[in-house]
Amino acid sequence: MADLPAPVAALRNAVRACLRTVDLPPDAMVLVACSGGADSLALAATAAFVAPRLGLRAGLVTVDHRLQDGSTERAADVVTWAASVGLAPTSMVAVDATPQGDGPEAAARVARYAALCAAAKRDGAAAVLLGHTRDDQAETVLLALARGAGLRGLSGMPVRRDVDGVAFLRPLLNVSRTDTVAACAELGLVAWTDPHNEDARFARSRVRAALPLLSELLGAGVVTNLARTAALVAADASALDTWADSAAADTQDDDGSLRVEPLTALPAAIRTRLLRSYALQLGSPAGALSSAHITALDALVMAWRGQGAVALPGGILVARRDGRLRSVIDESLNGDRAIDRSVPELHAWLTTDSDAD
């Protein structure tokens, strides 16, 4: 019996380990989100092999963004291939990816994940598998560095994120893009190359083009090291978030206001996390909430000089009154606030520092 090619073995080991770690119930369904590119195609082929051997079922969903000529036909080809390798159910979902003020990348991302959530619920899937690789993680960290992001951004993409009852899993974050391309070649799979991946209009495409130069200048391990940095930072960020959540119970009153005195005793890293969570709790959209907003809130606590209320995205005003931070409604923006508060959880997490394609 011939030895299993190393790239194929790497993918199977990664997917097997991920599915075992999340402890899915017997006969659970997992859906692979597959564009037809090398990463997701290799993931789909791997899931078709691994899932049944773990007592699980594997299906596939492909999203047609309708942004390029031939996209519908290409999506149909992915569905046909998936059925031929035993993935079931398989489906194609067309979405409207028209930008709504967030730019084309964000619009496509929000539409895609909304469709994936809906497909998972429709098919009764316990999880959706995404094909992001170690290279994608490195790109995410570089983008976060370029934006001046904090720990949340530098944490990169998590292996698991639950949204609206659906678990999104990334089994390939420790697998290189070279391995997914090589696995496709070993398995005789013809992957689609998305021209947007080389389109310099998109920040991620520019970072992707720069990585080979960084590897040449800094050494071949730069991608692995960036991904490792994300994992280390994520652990620290999680610990700080847990501390901030615990501290919130000691600062927030039943009426929703925050008591200033206990806030002043907290380290800045914990206090600002707590203030950000407070702003989100009030309904401020995560994608529009910046470090400048949090700094202004923090000034109400640590640099109080009788200043006026802080305006947050969503038509929300936060003022300091009687030793507490309280929200007040700006009636002139109340209509906008109502709209922003209705933004679903999906949009909120897709537009935070740790967003990804």
Round to whole Å and give the CA distance between 285 and 313. Answer: 6
pLDDT at residue 109 in the model: 82
Quick: pLDDT tens for 32-55: 999 999 999 999 999 999 999 999
SS3 call for 162: strand
In a shared domain, residues 33 and 150:
yes
**One domain, residues 43 and 180:** yes
**Angstrom distance (rounded) from CA 84 to CA 340:** 44
- Residue 180 and residue 40: Cα distance in Å, rounded? 8
247 in a domain, yes or no? no
Same domain, 207 and 90: yes
| 338 lies in the same domain as 260 | yes
Residue 325, both tokens = 């931070």
Is the whole model's pTM more than 0.85, yes or no?
A: no
Both 180 and 264 in a single domain? no
In this structure, the answer to whether residues 183 and 290 fall within a common structural domain is no
137 and 220 belong to one structural domain: yes
- Residues 210 and 296 grouped into a single domain: no
Residues 54 and 162 in one domain: yes
DSSP for 199-242 reads -TTSHHHHHHHHHHHHHHHH-TTHHHHHHHHHHHHHHHHHHHHH
User: Last residue of a domain, which of 188, 210, 225?
Assistant: 225
Give the chain's domain count.
Answer: 2
Helices (H), the chain: 6-21, 38-53, 71-84, 104-123, 134-147, 151-154, 177-187, 203-218, 222-251, 260-264, 268-282, 291-302, 334-341, 345-350
DSSP per-residue letters across 168-204: EE-TTTTS-HHHHHHHHHHHT------GGGG-TTSHH
What is the residue type of 229? T
Nearest residue to 96 (alpha-carbon basis) of 63, 140, 49, 61: 63
Residue 241 inside a domain? The answer is no
As a whole number of angstroms, the distance between CA 21 and CA 24 comes to: 8
10, 39, 356: which is closest to 174 by C-alpha? 10
Torsion of Cα atoms, 30 then 33 then 39 then 41, to 10°: 80
Report yes or no on 245 lying in a domain.
no
306 lies in which domain range?
252-350
The reply to whether 103 falls in a domain is yes
d(CA 143, CA 68): 25
In a domain, 325, yes or no: yes
In a domain, 232, yes or no: no
CA distance 110 to 99: 10
pLDDT at 342: 34
CATH of the domain at 299: 3.30.465.60
- Give the chain's residues under pLDDT 50: 1, 330-357
Based on the fold, state whether residues 201 and 257 are members of the same structural domain.
Answer: no
Distant-in-sequence, close-in-space partners of 48: CB < 8 Å, separation ≥ 6: 58, 82, 85, 86, 87
62 and 182, same domain (yes or no): yes
In the listed set 182, 206, 225, which residue is the last one of a domain according to the structure? 225
- The strand pairing partners of 160, in sequence order, are 169
> CATH number, domain at 12?
3.40.50.620
Q: Is residue 242 part of a domain?
A: no
Q: Show which of 207, 225, 243 is a domain's final residue.
A: 225
What pLDDT does 339 receive? 33
- Distance between CA atoms of residues 2 and 22, nearest Å: 31
Provide the pLDDT for residue 329: 61
Angle of CA points 274, 320, 239, to nearest 5° = 10
Same domain, 71 and 173: yes
356 inside domain: no
